[in-house]
Amino acid sequence: MTGMDDETAELIRTVRTDHDRTALLAALETGAKTVTGLREALDATDVEAILSALVDDGVVEADGGAYERTEFGDRVHKYATADWNPSNEGTKRAATFEILADCEWHCSACELPSSQPAKDIQMLRKEGFEFVQNTGQGQGDYLHCETCDATTFHRKLKYAFPTGQSITRQGMPDSFKRRVRDLYDHRDAFDGSSPSTTLEVDHRVPEIRWETSEDFDYESMTGEEIAEHFQILTRSHNLLKSRKCESCVENGERPPFLGIEYYYEGSAAYDESIGCVGCGWYNPQEWRASLHAELDG
């Protein structure tokens, strides 16, 4: 999916929240109709005014005394009336979307049903849904919750339909994975061990922080480029890092690496201007080198 411009998104939002407009567009599903025919089909108070606005927006066009939807109008109608919940009915993720679909602020601590709301937000962002972002800490903001009576992280969908570019992950060739493992001498980035199990190739910047789809040319990447973007971890360490990164996205605080509160750039507070740089979970090798340099100094 490609991105949608703000003007179109606002138009769809207006139609989606206006019963008379959606009903009129639905009445044109079977073809052109006159004003008289639309009056008979609808319970709208001012068909002419609604038609005039939709014509101005390019959603409907007039041909003599009859009106019909344009191709753009077909798209607007689809986005305004479709069920955009990307999760299976009855799941916690589906319930999370239904709560957020009113495009109001919601407390992650007490209103969203999932124990891992950051994962749900990641899934929605990958599908092209946009979130209101005020603090730079993540897709949301810290607000006072009347229910919790505490300041908690809140989420707010910008629109109840996808408007952004979907975020996709590339398939990583096995030959590239072998090259990365060889580059790091098959040693886990966290503790330097060489386990008997196959180490996993991990993205330094976690997927939950991605703003765009992957676009790597794996075959032509240099060793320096690989070191910039990837590391290798055991399965358990990879899962541990994922949990820590989810926590960072959720509360805007970078977790201490292996319990040590040190950051070689920035501080514990996540700063969008530097992103993950400076955090030990992002680059354990540079984290250790910087810490040793300070201790030796």
- Give the tens place of pLDDT for each residue, 117-144: 888 888 898 888 988 876 544 556 888 9
Q: Give residue 138's pLDDT.
A: 52
The predicted model gives 6-30 an average pLDDT of 94
Q: Give residue 1's pLDDT.
A: 45
- Give the tens place of pLDDT for each residue, 179-236: 999 999 999 999 999 999 999 999 999 988 888 888 899 999 999 999 999 999 999 9
Query: What range defines the domain where residue 76 resides?
Result: 6-81
Q: Give residue 164's pLDDT.
A: 83
**Is 111 part of a structural domain of the chain?**
yes
- The three state secondary structure string of the chain is CCCCCHHHHHHHHHHHCCHHHHHHHHHHHHCCEEHHHHHHHCCCCCHHHHHHHHHHCCCEEEECCEEEECHHHHHHHHHHHCCCCCCCCCCHHHHHHHHHCCCCCEECCCCCCCCCHHHHHHHHHHCCCCECCCCCCCCCEEEEECCCCEEEEEECECCCCCCCCCCCCCCCCHHHHHHHHHHCCCCCCCCCCCCCCCCEEEECCCHHHCCCCCCCCHHHCCHHHHHHHEEEECHHHHHHHHHHHHHHHHHCECCCECCECCCCCCCCECECCCECCCCCCCCHHHHHHHHHHHHHC
Domain endpoint, select from 81, 114, 141: 81
Q: Does 194 lie in the same domain as 279?
A: yes
pTM: 0.68
**Is 87 part of a structural domain of the chain?**
no
**Is 10 part of a structural domain of the chain?**
yes
The predicted model gives 71-75 an average pLDDT of 95
Domain tally, the chain: 3
**Is 160 part of a structural domain of the chain?**
no
Q: Does 71 lie in the same domain as 96?
A: no
The predicted model gives 284-292 an average pLDDT of 95
**Is 163 part of a structural domain of the chain?**
no
Q: Does 210 lie in the same domain as 282?
A: yes
